[in-house]
Amino acid sequence: MGQVNPERMFDVDFQEATDCICAYGPDITILLEGHMGIGKSAQLEEVGKRFPTYKKYYFDCTTKMDAGDVMIPKLKDIDGNDFVRFATNEELGIHLQKTPSILMIDEYGKGNKSLTNSMNRLCYERKLGAYTMHKDSIVFLTTNLGAENVGDTLAPQQLNRMTVMRVRKPSHTDWIDWGLKKGLNHVVLGCVRENPHWLQPFDEVDNPSDNPYIYHPREQRRHFVTGRSLEKASIIFGRKDVITTRALTCMLNGTIGVAATNTLMTFSRLTEQLPTMDSIKNDPMNAKVPDDAAGVCLVIYRTLQTIERDWVDAWMTYVQRLGKEAQGMFGKTVCHKDYGRRKQVVNTKSFMAWARANNYMYEEDQS
C-alpha cells in the first residue's frame, strides 16, 4: 500500500465545500475536484437548502457538444437595423436576470474546448453575451481528478478564472453515516463497515492488485466500488427476494465488481444468525443478542432501516441489552435532522426516557 500524500491534508469534506460555495459563490467560481462516484453532483441540492428562494439550475457538460449548446444567434430588427442577439441555454438560468439563482456546471473538465471556452466569461464575470446574472447568484463547477484518466482536462487560463478545491473521498464511516440517514440496506452497510478498504482512494494504492475492489487508473476494471455504486448495490440487495440468487449475483457483479460481490454475498450469511424482527417486537427481553460486533451493527442498521412507531417501545427495551456503543450509534442517527424516520421515534415516551438517561450520547446532534 502507498502512503497518504501530505498535500492531501488540505482536501476538504463536503460540508466545508458547501460552506465555501455559499459564502463566496456570488463572487468566486469554485471548481470542486474529486474522485468519481463520491457525490459531487449532490452539492446542488445541498447549496439549495441554504437558499430556498433561489432557482436551481443544472448544466451537464457531458450532454453538450460545443458553444452552440451555450448560446445561439437570433436575428433582430430594430428600426430597420439588423443585428444578431445571442439567446442562452435555458439550463444556465442566466436569462432570468432579475432572479437570484444557483448554477452548477457538472463534469466541466469533460466538456470540449469550444464548450468550456464559451463559458469563460460566465465563470469569471457572471456574464454571457448581453446577459448578466443577478448579483446574488451562485455559480460553481465539478470535475473528476485528472489523475483518474477519465477525460477531465482544463487549460491554465480556464483554471485561473476560478478557485479549485479538492474534495476528499469519504471514508467508509462517512459513507455509513450518510447511508444510515438515507435508509440504505443494512447488509450493505454492515459489509462496508467490515471492509473499509472498499472506499480507499486509489492514490494511496501503489499496486492496483493490492486493492481489487476500487477503481485504479493503472488497471482496466469495468466494475468497482464507489459510494455511488454501493448505493445502487443497496437497492439491488434490498429487493433480492423477488429474483434468483444467480440474477442477484449477476446484477451485483455488474455494479460493484466480482470481488466485492463475493464478499457481500458471504457477509450476508451473517443475517441468518441475527434475531428475527418478530422476536424483538414480541419478546425484547429474551430475543437473541448477536455474539459479535458485526452482528450487533447489522441489527442496529436493520432497525434504522425499518423501525415504525408501533414497536419503538419494544426496540428501546431490546437495544439496552446491546451495550452503550450500540445505543449511542442508534441514538445519534435517529436524532439527526436528515434521518428519514426521525419523527416516528424521537417523540415516543420510551425514546424520550432513554434520551434523558443518555443525553451525553446525542446532545450535539440536537443543536
Q: pLDDT value at position 175?
A: 95
Average pLDDT over residues 160-182: 93
Task: Identify the band that residue 6 occupies on the pLDDT scale cut at 50, 70 and 90.
Answer: low
- The total of other beta-carbon atoms located within 10 Å of residue 171's CB is 14
Superfamily of domain 6-166: P-loop containing nucleotide triphosphate hydrolases (3.40.50.300)
Cα–Cα dist 189/179, whole Å: 7
Q: pLDDT value at position 107?
A: 93
* Among the ranges given (78-82, 109-113, 276-280), the one the predictor scored with the smallest mean pLDDT: 78-82
Task: Identify the band that residue 361 occupies on the pLDDT scale cut at 50, 70 and 90.
Answer: low
Sequence-distant (6+) residues with CB within 8 A of 76 are 82, 83, 84, 85
Sequence-distant (6+) residues with CB within 8 A of 352 are 346
Report which DSSP code applies to 169. Answer: P
Q: Is the pLDDT of residue 280 over 50?
A: yes
Average pLDDT over residues 37-49: 94
Bigger pLDDT: 271 or 51? 51
Bigger pLDDT: 178 or 157? 178
One-letter amino acid identity for 349?
Answer: K
Q: What is the mean pLDDT of the chain?
A: 90
Task: Identify the band that residue 308 occupies on the pLDDT scale cut at 50, 70 and 90.
Answer: very high
Bigger pLDDT: 232 or 158? 232
Task: Identify the band that residue 9 occupies on the pLDDT scale cut at 50, 70 and 90.
Answer: confident
| Closest by CA position to 233, among listed 214, 250, 256 | 256
Task: Identify the band that residue 365 occupies on the pLDDT scale cut at 50, 70 and 90.
Answer: very low
Q: Is the pLDDT of residue 95 over 60?
A: yes
Residue 224 CA neighbour count, 13 Å, CB half: 23
Q: What pTM did the predictor assign?
A: 0.82
Q: pLDDT value at position 187?
A: 93
Average pLDDT over residues 103-124: 92
Q: Is the pLDDT of residue 215 over 60?
A: yes
| Closest by CA position to 251, among listed 230, 236, 241 | 236
Domain with CATH 3.40.50.300 in the chain: 6-166
Sequence-distant (6+) residues with CB within 8 A of 239 are none
Q: pLDDT value at position 364?
A: 44
Average pLDDT over residues 177-182: 91
Helix (H) or strand (E) holding 140: strand 138-144
Contact yes or no for 21/51 (Cβ under 8 A): no
298 burial (CB, 10 Å; 0-12 / 13-18 / 19+) is buried
- The total of other beta-carbon atoms located within 10 Å of residue 62's CB is 10
Cα–Cα dist 246/196, whole Å: 26
Tens digit of each residue's pLDDT (9 = 90 or more) over 192-214 = 999 999 999 998 898 999 999 99
